[in-house]
């Protein structure tokens, strides 16, 4: 028998119809579904999205609204504190059930608890599901019962309890006959207008669930074979570029994992590559479980000995780093890829982050905030956890004495200089043996390439050897303080 009492699906970081356990639960028994998205910039403790992520959110909501409309389900858009808006919409629609997928952050969980208490007061049942992670945060434990603090221990424990591998199909949906009051997406001004800096983002990305699956299948047909090695090469296309889709839940980690493992089992790609991809998804999982355990991950050093670290303050260096004008071509290429496209290759993220924290000795939170504002995949867990990992203050962090040499990193991972040529076009005509160290070029070579150091491209803002010594001294000081 069909249930005619409507249920409310509260969408958050899970902007998809398929493999969405909360949506499937809401649609159970064929009952009509109201879909709600709340732009909540009022509840205490929630981190406001950065500019590039807001741009992505607009596209993603547009795509979700269109997909829901095909099933005659309205996506209701409302702005305000969730504790006011969700009970209000549930009441207006006469819902007896509200379903949502859990979020890992502590502030988010507090908001959810408050919403649940208010809904229950008005006689509405609440269903919480696991939709954005493979394992329930807090459920992966060492044998002694704590949260594993190294990645390998975390993955080992998590894989002892493999999640159900099969993603769910999109449920068949029925909408309400009446329309509810909804706000106009454009009125939220998620996309920039004056100035409109999002041209590069529009050229590079198409948000939404359908696009996520296209990106996934292109990756399986193309980059996945050779992923384990090729994922370190920014000049090649061996990574999936699924991060913003995973961040906004346009594809679930379970769907991505199942598709890749299936490709491995079917022989479309080597199983070793599929397993490496699985392991990267577990890095994401590790970050989220850390965020659950340490809610202020974006502000507090996980290792307290870093609290006394002698970070420098230098607005000029920070500005040069942000703009991709450090004089180190691989660093500048990464920072300009970020500015132009809202994304940066993982290897280059590690290089630019190491450069900021170790060569410039600027606080990792400066880098984290800039990434937060400029990445389309700016992620509340992956971003701070990765910054802390690079800085050395995080869980299972890179050892403090590992200081990337930006020239050697460039020569190893962008050997022909193609990546640098794409994003630092003023160096495009330098030969490959000089592209990562233009200051070593002679006058004739520079003139032939049309480069005037200090004019068309900066000289290095720090000397690598001197910066390395300075960083080692600073880190040694911290080590003694522990």
- Name the site residues for ligand FAD (rule: CB under 6 A): 231, 239-243, 246-247, 280-281, 283-284, 287, 346, 349-350, 353, 371, 375, 377-379, 382-383, 386-387, 390
Q: How far apart are CA 410 and CA 424, in angstroms?
A: 13
280, 285, 366, 368: the active-site residue: 280
Q: Is 389 a catalytic residue?
A: no
| CB-nearer residue toward ligand FAD: 43 or 287 | 287
Q: How many CA atoms lie within 13 A of 243 on its CB side?
A: 20
Q: Using the 8-state DSSP alphabet, how is residue 458 labeled? A: P
| CB-nearer residue toward ligand FAD: 243 or 252 | 243
Query: For tokens 């509810």, what's the residue?
Result: 180
Q: Is 197 a catalytic residue?
A: no
10, 364, 370, 372: the active-site residue: 364
88, 96, 188, 311: the active-site residue: 311
378 annotated binding-site participant: yes
227 annotated binding-site participant: yes
| CB-nearer residue toward ligand FAD: 71 or 236 | 236
Q: How far apart are CA 425 and CA 420, in angstroms?
A: 8
CB of 297 to ligand FAD, least distance (A): 12
321, 339, 387, 389: the active-site residue: 387
CB of 425 to ligand FAD, least distance (A): 23
For 190, phi then psi, to 5°, come to -75, -25
Q: What is the DSSP string of 276-321?
A: HHHHHHHHHHHHHHHHHH-TTTTTS-SSGGGGG---B--HHHHHHH
470 closest CA partner among 311, 337, 304: 311
Give long-range contacts, CB 8 A cutoff, 24+ apart: 186-195.
188/39, 188/58, 188/77, 188/79, 190/54, 190/55, 190/57, 190/58, 191/54, 191/55, 191/58, 192/51, 192/55
| CB-nearer residue toward ligand FAD: 60 or 383 | 383
Q: Is 346 a catalytic residue?
A: yes
CB of 113 to ligand FAD, least distance (A): 26
- Two tokens at 293? 């355990």
309 annotated binding-site participant: no
- Two tokens at 430? 């330098």
Q: How far apart are CA 350 and CA 247, in angstroms?
A: 19
283, 321, 339, 343: the active-site residue: 283
For 98, phi then psi, to 5°, come to -125, 130
CB of 89 to ligand FAD, least distance (A): 30
Q: Is 343 a catalytic residue?
A: no
40 closest CA partner among 169, 183, 149: 183
CB of 389 to ligand FAD, least distance (A): 7
| CB-nearer residue toward ligand FAD: 241 or 358 | 241
| CB-nearer residue toward ligand FAD: 74 or 382 | 382
CB of 178 to ligand FAD, least distance (A): 39
Annotated binding site for FAD: 227, 277, 377-379
Annotated binding site: 227, 277, 377-379
Residues identified as active-site: 280, 283, 311, 346, 364, 387
């Amino acid at each position: 028998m069909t249930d005619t009492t409507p249920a409310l699906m509260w969408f958050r970081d899970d902007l998809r119809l398929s493999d969405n356990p909360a949506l499937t639960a809401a649609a159970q028994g064929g009952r009509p579904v109201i879909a709600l998205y709340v732009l909540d910039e009022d509840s205490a403790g929630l981190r406001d999205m950065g500019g590039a992520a807001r741009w992505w959110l607009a596209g993603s909501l547009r795509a979700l609204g269109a997909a829901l409309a095909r099933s005659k389900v309205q996506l209701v858009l409302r702005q305000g504190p969730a504790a006011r808006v969700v009970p209000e919409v549930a009441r207006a629609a006469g819902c007896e059930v509200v379903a949502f997928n859990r979020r890992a952050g502590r502030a988010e969980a507090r908001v959810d608890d408050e919403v649940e208490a208010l809904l229950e007061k008005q006689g509405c049942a609440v269903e919480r599901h696991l939709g954005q992670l493979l394992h329930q945060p807090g459920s992966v434990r060492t044998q002694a019962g704590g949260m594993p603090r190294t990645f390998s221990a975390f993955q080992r424990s998590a894989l002892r309890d493999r999640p159900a591998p099969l993603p769910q199909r999109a449920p068949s949906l029925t909408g309400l006959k009446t329309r509810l009051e909804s706000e106009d997406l454009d009125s939220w001004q998620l996309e920039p207008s004056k100035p409109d800096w999002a041209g590069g983002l529009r050229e590079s990305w198409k948000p939404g669930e359908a696009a996520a699956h296209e990106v996934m299948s292109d990756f399986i047909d193309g980059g996945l074979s050779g992923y384990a090695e090729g994922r370190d090469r920014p000049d090649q296309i061996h990574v999936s570029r699924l991060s913003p889709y995973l961040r906004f839940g346009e594809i679930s980690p379970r769907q991505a994992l199942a598709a890749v493992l299936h490709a491995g089992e079917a022989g479309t790609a080597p199983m070793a590559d599929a397993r490496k991809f699985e392991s990267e998804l577990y890095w994401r999982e590790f970050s989220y479980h850390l965020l659950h355990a340490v809610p202020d991950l974006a502000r507090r050093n996980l290792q307290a000995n870093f609290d006394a670290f002698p970070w420098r303050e230098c607005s000029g260096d920070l500005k040069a780093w942000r703009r991709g004008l450090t004089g180190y071509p691989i660093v500048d290429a990464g920072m300009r890829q970020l500015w132009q496209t809202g994304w940066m290759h993982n290897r280059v993220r590690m290089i630019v982050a190491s450069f900021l924290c170790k060569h410039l000795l600027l606080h990792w939170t400066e880098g984290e905030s800039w990434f937060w504002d400029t990445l389309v995949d700016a992620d509340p867990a992956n971003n701070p956890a990765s910054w802390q990992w690079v800085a050395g203050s995080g869980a299972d962090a890179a050892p403090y004495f590992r200081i990337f040499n930006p020239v050697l990193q460039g020569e190893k991972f962008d050997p022909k200089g193609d990546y640098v040529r794409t994003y630092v076009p003023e160096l495009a005509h330098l030969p490959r043996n000089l592209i990562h160290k233009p200051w070593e070029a002679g006058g004739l070579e520079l003139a032939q390439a049309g480069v005037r150091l200090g004019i068309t491209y900066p000289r290095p803002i720090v000397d690598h050897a001197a910066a390395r010594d300075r960083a080692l001294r600073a880190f040694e000081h911290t080590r003694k303080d522990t």
